[in-house]
């Protein structure tokens, strides 16, 4: 028997002020749109802001639906908007923040599996890493260097062809 060891390094910044200016600005934009989330069922708001290689920033918030499978995550809304508005631009960084109105959540939360796969597709398409910043209601911010670190053994288009 063999083993495959998979490790992910997460950098932890004590506060938003410990981030570089570009990351700080992006996280502030994600926090600014957080109140625009539509989450009447889960009461779990998510705000996302992404930066493209052309310098543009695109935001998104989660949008729930009474038919739960029809809701959309903040990350996928931002990615889809960016792809529509700037089809030739690559995603370089995404900041994601949450507010849980049911109970305080002080540990950052990573994107769901579907969002990880969507973000990985963009990372693979650009052939460049997408930096991920994660924040909750607590002061700490987690940084993951690339989407592929959050989705090891991922499904990729080359498997199909």
pLDDT tens-digit profile of 90-140?
A: 999 999 999 999 999 999 999 999 999 999 999 999 999 999 999 999 999
The whole-number pLDDT of residue 153 equals 79
The whole-number pLDDT of residue 46 equals 98
CA 120 to CA 56: how far, in whole Å?
20
Q: What is the mean pLDDT of residues 68-94?
A: 96
The whole-number pLDDT of residue 10 equals 97
Is 67 within the bounds of a domain?
A: yes
Is 61 within the bounds of a domain?
A: yes
Q: What is the mean pLDDT of residues 70-81?
A: 97
CATH number assigned to the domain comprising residue 119: 3.40.140.10
Whether 158 shows a pLDDT value over 70: the answer reads no
Which helix (H) or strand (E) covers residue 160, if one does?
A: helix 157-160
Choose the catalytic residue: 64, 75, 123, 143: 75
Is 128 within the bounds of a domain?
A: yes
Read off the pTM. Answer: 0.94
Q: What single string gives the DSSP state of each residue in 60-123?
A: EE-B--SSGGG-B-HHHHHHHHHHHH-TTPPEEEEEEEEEESSS---S--PPPHHHHHHHHHHH
Is 24 within the bounds of a domain?
A: no
Q: How many domains does the chain have?
A: 1
Reported as a pLDDT band with limits 50, 70 and 90, residue 156 is: confident
Residue 123 annotated among the catalytic residues of the structure: no
Is 85 within the bounds of a domain?
A: yes
Is 68 within the bounds of a domain?
A: yes
Is 13 within the bounds of a domain?
A: no
Residue 126: which domain range?
38-148
pLDDT tens digits, one per residue of 18-51: 999 999 999 999 999 999 999 999 999 999 999 9
CA 13 to CA 118: how far, in whole Å?
26
Is 84 within the bounds of a domain?
A: yes
């Amino acid at each position: 028997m063999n083993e495959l060891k998979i490790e992910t390094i997460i950098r932890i910044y004590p506060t938003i002020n410990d981030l570089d200016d570009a990351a700080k600005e992006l996280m502030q934009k994600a926090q600014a749109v957080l109140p625009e989330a539509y989450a009447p069922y889960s009461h779990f708001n998510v705000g996302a802001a992404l930066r493209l290689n052309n310098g543009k920033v695109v935001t998104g918030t989660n949008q729930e639906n009474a038919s739960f499978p029809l809701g959309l995550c903040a990350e996928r809304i931002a990615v889809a908007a960016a792809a529509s508005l700037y089809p030739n631009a690559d995603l370089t960084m995404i900041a994601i923040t949450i507010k849980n109105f049911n109970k305080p959540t002080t540990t950052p939360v990573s994107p769901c599996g579907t969002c990880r796969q969507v973000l990985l597709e963009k990372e693979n398409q650009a052939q460049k890493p997408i930096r991920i910043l994660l924040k909750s209601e607590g002061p700490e911010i987690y940084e993951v260097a690339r989407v592929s670190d959050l989705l090891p053994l991922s499904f990729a288009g080359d498997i199909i062809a």
